[in-house]
Amino acid sequence: MTTAAVVKPSKPWQASPRQRLNSALVYIAAIMTSYLIVAITPMKGKLAYAFVFFAAFIVFDFALNLFSRGFPVAKDAIARAVVAAGICVAVFPILSIIATVIIRGYHGLHIGLFTHDMALNSVTDPVKQGGLLHALTGTAILVLVALIISVPLGILTAIYMTEIRGRFMKPIKFLVQAMSGVPSIVAGLFILSAVVYPITKGYSGFVGSLALSILMIPTVARTSEEVLLLIPNDLREAGVALGGTHWRTVAMVVVPAAKSGLVTAMILGVARIAGETAPILLLTGGGDKVNGDPFHGPMGSLPFYIWKSYSVGTPESITRAWAAILVLLVIVLVLFVSARLLSERRSSK
Partner 1 sequence: MSQALLSAAEGAVPAKREITTKPRFSDRVFRAVVSGGALSSLIILGLIFFFLAFQGYSVLRSQGIHFITSSNWQVVQDTAGNVDPKHTQFGIAAMLIGTFLCSLIAIIVAVPVSVLAALFLNFYAPPVLKKIMVAVVDLMAAFPSILFGLWGFFVLMPSAEYWAKLLHHFLGFIPIFKVDPPIFTRSPFVAGLVLAVMIIPIITSVSREVFSQTPLDRIQAAYALGATRWSMIRAVVLPYGRSGVVGGAMLGLGRALGETVAVYTVLNIVYQVNWHVLLGAGGNVASMILLKFGEAGPQEIKALMAAGLVLFLLTLLVNLGADLVVRRSGGKGR
Interaction between residue 190 and partner 1 (CB under 8 A) = yes
Selected from 34, 184, 224, 291, the binder of partner 1 by CB under 8 A is 184
Q: Is 70 exposed, middle or buried (0-12, 13-18, 19+ CB in 10 A)?
A: exposed
Residue 214 carries which side chain, given as an amino acid letter?
Answer: I
Angle separating helix axes 46-69 and 71-105, nearest 10 degrees: 160
Query: For residues 282-311, which are near partner 1 according to CB under 8 A?
Result: 282, 303, 306-307, 310
Interaction between residue 58 and partner 1 (CB under 8 A) = no
Task: Name 285's bridge partners.
Answer: 299
Interaction between residue 51 and partner 1 (CB under 8 A) = no
The stretch near partner 1 (CB under 8 A) out of 100-108, 123-131, 199-207, 228-236 is 100-108
Q: Report the alpha-carbon distance of residue 242 to residue 249 in Å, rounded.
A: 9
Please check whether residue 307 is in contact with residue 281, taking contact to mean a CB–CB distance below 8 angstroms. yes
Query: For residues 105-164, which are near partner 1 according to CB under 8 A?
Result: 152-153, 155-157, 159-161, 163-164
Selected from 93, 126, 243, 315, the binder of partner 1 by CB under 8 A is 93
Entry field: residues in the chain: 349
Query: For residues 9-28, which are near partner 1 according to CB under 8 A?
Result: none
CB of 273 to partner 1, least distance (A): 9
CB of 3 to partner 1, least distance (A): 39
Helix (H) or strand (E) holding 305: helix 302-312
CB of 306 to partner 1, least distance (A): 6
Q: Give the total of residues touching partner 1 (CB under 8 A).
A: 91
Q: Report the alpha-carbon distance of residue 117 to residue 200 in Å, rounded.
A: 26
Interaction between residue 68 and partner 1 (CB under 8 A) = no
Interaction between residue 250 and partner 1 (CB under 8 A) = yes
Q: Report the alpha-carbon distance of residue 72 to residue 57 in Å, rounded.
A: 18
